[in-house]
Amino acid sequence: MVTPTTPSVKLADSNIIVKAENVNKYFGALHVLKDMDLEVRRNEVVVIIGPSGSGKSTFLRCINHLEKINSGHIYVNGHMIGYHDRNGKLVEDSERNISRQRAEIGMVFQRFNLFPHLTAIENIIEAPMRVRKIPEEQARAEGERLLARVGLADKRDKYPNQISGGQQQRVAIARALAMKPGLMLFDEPTSALDPEMIGEVLDVMKELAHEMTMIVVSHEMGFARAAANRIVFVDEGQIIEQASPEEFFANPRSERTRLFLSQILH
């Protein structure tokens, strides 16, 4: 179905923050996302799980247009992301437009990707100052508040190299929050961490889950159980099933889900 040529689309329900329709994505001949559909409502916490190579991270990266899609539509806050419709054909937006959209979406990466040449506080205030044009003093005050919130007020002037992986990831979360995004994407945020540091990052995320719209790609079933409103199981580029955590873990409907759960839960 082709949407009208207006860049903004009135969604039936204004509480829907993310809407993906028939999203297809290829890496060369490899069909990584097959007609993916997903709706995420305001303040919902959706955890996407699935075997590695299932396309879950790729899908997440399409939501802020770090990956291009080959067909379908993704809307964030009612605006199509990365593209506009011109006579039924998708045309990629200008870099400036895409940047503006990305500023409203926070992202946390598996490998933290903090800027190594900047201190913790400098990492946090960089985008608010450059993108939002917030004065340094105000950005710093806000940044320090965020650092305190992730429990790292004392690491303010440390460089990423000087703090642990778990601390780096918490700074990365603060950095994303500093843009006051309406949506947070987490791409396997604890997969690169030593086991003893996973807890501190998940604690921060659980805290956030009370007040934010979050889409989390993760293997942490404990977190999914505790913080998710909905679990989405993805395999081979398709959503196999989605349900509340209670329902999902107690009564997985599909055979593939049962197999995956038996492998991951031992």
Which residues in this chain contact another protein in the complex, by CB under 8 A? 64, 66, 95-96, 99-107, 109, 111, 113-119, 126-127, 130-131, 159, 161-162, 172, 175-176, 179
Cα–Cα nearest to 147, from 180, 125, 112, 171: 171
What is the largest distance, in Å, between two alpha-carbon atoms of the chain?
56
Return the number of the residue (179 or 224) whose C-beta is nearest another protein: 179
CB of 78 to another protein, least distance (A): 18
Residue 162 or 244 with smaller CB distance to another protein: 162
Please, which residues have CB within 8 angstroms of residue 219's CB and are 6 or more apart in sequence?
Answer: 49, 188, 191, 264
CB of 165 to another protein, least distance (A): 14
Between 3 and 138, name the residue whose CB sits nearer to another protein.
138
Question: Which burial class, exposed, middle or buried, applies to 84 when counting CB atoms under 10 A from its CB (0-12, 13-18, 19+)?
Answer: middle
Closer residue to another protein in complex, CB, 100/258: 100
For the bound state, the minimum distance from the C-beta of residue 115 to another protein, rounded and expressed in Å, comes to: 6
Pick 140 or 230: Cβ nearer another protein: 140
We find the least distance from the C-beta atom of residue 131 to another protein, in angstroms, to be 5
Q: How far is the CB of 103 from another protein (least distance, A)?
A: 3
Work out how close the CB of 61 gets to another protein at its nearest, in angstroms, rounded to a whole number. 9
What is the smallest separation between the CB atom of 95 and another protein, expressed in angstroms?
6
- Judged by beta carbon, residue 181 or residue 237, the one nearer another protein is 181
Q: Which is nearer to another protein, 62 or 224 (CB)?
A: 62
